[in-house]
Each structure stands twice: as structure tokens, then as C-alpha cells.
Homo-oligomer: A and B are copies of this chain.
Amino acid sequence: MPEQPVRARLVDVARVAGVSKATVSKVLNGRQDLSVRPETRQRVHEAAESLGYRPHSGARALAGASTHALALLVPALANPTYVTIARGAYQRARELGYLSLLAEDFDGQEADESFNDLVQEGRVDGLLIASARPGHPLLDALSRSPVPHVFLNRSVEGSGRNVTMDVARSSVTALDHLHSLGHQAVGHIAGPPGITPSEDRKQAFLQHAEKLGLAAAPVASGDFTEDGGVAATLELLRATADGSRPPVTAIYTSSLAQAIGAMGAILKLGLRIPEDISVVGNDDLPIAGHLVPPLTTVAMPLYELGTAAVDALVAAIEGAPMGDVVVPTEPHLVLRGSTARPEGAS
């Protein structure tokens, strides 16, 4: 049997290349505190290649070097927004020689577990945290045993390690669009209170609504889910129940799922989209184009958020000073069929 299931180890490479373990290690890690003949370097690389050598991550981590792994903590994997972010993070990490692991953190329930399993057990060098919120257990754990980390999407004020998008701009973009169509009463469905991107989006919405001189700009809060969208929509349209005209002619939501819930609720009330109510969602994902009517959304640079967060984290791991980062790509409107001039507008 030509069984050869044994992993090649550093010594194997060393033997084949005719040098010592130390030399192989230094060459493969590209350390310049050692001078080697180009010819030797070459031999080492060839030997490693031919043996299919892969350093054992555990041994590496033990020896004081890094694990070359990061972990991304997201609050809800079922939210495809985070999947897009995760993809960006994964790709960029890979380009930088890191492995990005993905973990779901059900709003704190799993945070401590994840922290223990991943950080305390030395599996990762740093954390990408997309699930932060005030009072989150992770913040506590991080202050007790600090580990390189960045907060993305949901920021932590004053941490100096936030990687975010220009969410204020997304509110402006959505409102400008609706305003230009002639809407004067626009409702906003915000996320749960206390979560930064949600608060920022809401503030920007209110400010810009005032600046545009909208007649009404009510806000309702709800979870980022379909159900949250339904509840908030009913709240915004409450006056409708008695048969009078709806108090708003357009709704701008914080998440795609909320928009889906909102659309369902609006149609169930017997109102039409976009004739009676226009809807604008946040985040552009394939499903948006397949809803009926297709959903107009503000596309956020989610993938870039992932890459930028990894850039920042890796820089921090390698000792660079940290600072807040805002992804430069601007949100932009993806026009579909869920928005139109309000009836009765000139």
C-alpha cells in the first residue's frame, strides 16, 4: 500500500532541502534577519512545495507566533447582509495570509462562549465584531483580557476602532429620491434603539427631512426582521385603520427584511405599492429584485466593509496604531418598482 498519509513536517522539508529546521522556518516566513544564498532559499521552497508542506497552526501558535486566523462575530447569519460582509472579510483575510472564521453571536448569548472558544483557547489572533451593542458581554470580556479587535457596522463610541459605512448618506439618498418624486410625508422604520448604525440612520433621516421641509417624518422602531417591519409599518400607518388617508406616502426601512415585512403588511392592508405607498429598503441583495413589486433599495458597500475591517484588524495585529475608519464607497440608490410619485402629486 502506498499509504503516505503523514503530513510533511518542518524537519521533513529541512531534510529534503539539506538544511536545518531553523533555516527552513526563517526562509518560509520570509524573515530578513537571516542571510541565505538565493540558491538555498530556492531549494527550501522547492522542498516545501514538493512535499506539500503546511505548517501546523497549533505548533505555530504555541511557539509564540500567530495563528494567522481571525474570527468574525455577526449577530444574525440569517441576515444576508452579514453574509456579504463575511465574504469580503474572508477574501481580504486570505489575501493577507489569514483565515477568517465565522461565528454567529445571537445578541450576546454566544458571545462569551465564542470568546472563550476562539480567543482564550488561542485559536485566533483577533476579532472582527459586528454584533456590538451597549452592555454587550463581549465588551466586558475584551476589557478583561484585551485582544486585537475592531467593531464593524455597529460601532462602539469612543473605542477608536470602528469600521463603518456612511449610513447617514444612505438616509439622505433615500430621502432625496422620495422627495424628488414629490413625497411630503415619509415614515422611517429604524432598528432597535441603541444600535449605532440604526441611530445614525435615524438622526440623518430626521435632519434631512427637516432640511427638505417634509410635512411629516414619523419614525417607528423594530427588529431588523420581517416581523419587525410588519409591526413598525402598522404603527406608521395606524391612522389608516379608520379609513382615512395613510399618514405617510412612503416608507424607508433600515434593513431588507424590514422592507419585505413592510411590503407584506402594506398589501395586506389593501394598499397598493407604489401607488399608495412607496417603499425604499436598505442593502441590495438578489431577492430585492424578485419581490413584487421589485424593491427600490439603497445599496450599501457591504463587501468593502468586510475588507476594510480586515485591513484594519490585521494592521492592528501587526502593531500599527488604530483609528476609526469609514468605508469610502458611498451608498447608492438602486431604482426598482417600489417607488413612484404619490397619487395627487403634480
* Residue ranges of A at the interface with B (Cβ–Cβ < 8 Å): 5, 7, 52, 54-62, 67, 69, 77-78, 80, 83-84, 86-87, 90, 94, 99, 101-104, 113, 116-118, 120-123, 145-146, 225-227, 229-230, 257, 260-261, 263-264, 267-268, 285-287, 289-292, 294
Contact = CB atoms under 8 A, between A and B. Distances in A.
A287 B264 CA distance: 10
Q: Which 3 A-B pairs have the closest CB atoms?
A: A58-B58, A58-B61, A54-B120
Contacts of A294: 264
Contact of A59 (B7, B62, B90): B62
Nearest to A119: B54
Contacts of A61: 56, 58
A290 B267 contact: no
A95 B184 CA distance: 54
B287 A257 contact: yes
A58 B54 contact: no
Contacts of A226: 286-287, 289-290
Contacts of A120: 7, 52, 54
Contacts of A103: 101-102
Copies in the complex: 2
Contacts of A263: 290, 292
B54 A121 contact: yes
Contact of A57 (B54, B94, B123, B230): B123
24 contacts: A54-B116, A56-B122, A57-B121, A57-B122, A58-B59, A58-B60, A58-B62, A58-B67, A58-B123, A77-B86, A78-B286, A80-B80, A94-B113, A99-B117, A99-B118, A101-B101, A225-B286, A226-B286, A226-B287, A227-B290, A260-B290, A263-B290, A264-B291, A264-B294
B116 A104 contact: no
A117 B87 CA distance: 16
Contact of A62 (B56, B84, B86): B56
Contacts of A117: 99
Contact of A146 (B5, B225, B257, B286): B5
Instruction: Name, among A83, A94, A227, the residue most crowded by chain B CB atoms within 10 Å (CB to CB).
Output: A83
Given A54-B116, A77-B83, A226-B290, 7 more contacts: A56-B61, A57-B121, A58-B122, A58-B123, A99-B123, A260-B287, A263-B292
A62 B60 CA distance: 10
A123 B286 contact: no
B69 A123 contact: yes
A55 B121 CA distance: 6
A257 to B, nearest CB: 7
Contact of A77 (B77, B113, B116): B77
A229 B83 CA distance: 21
Contacts of A268: 292
A86 B106 CA distance: 13
A5 B144 CA distance: 7
A285 B257 CA distance: 12
Contacts of A87: 77, 104
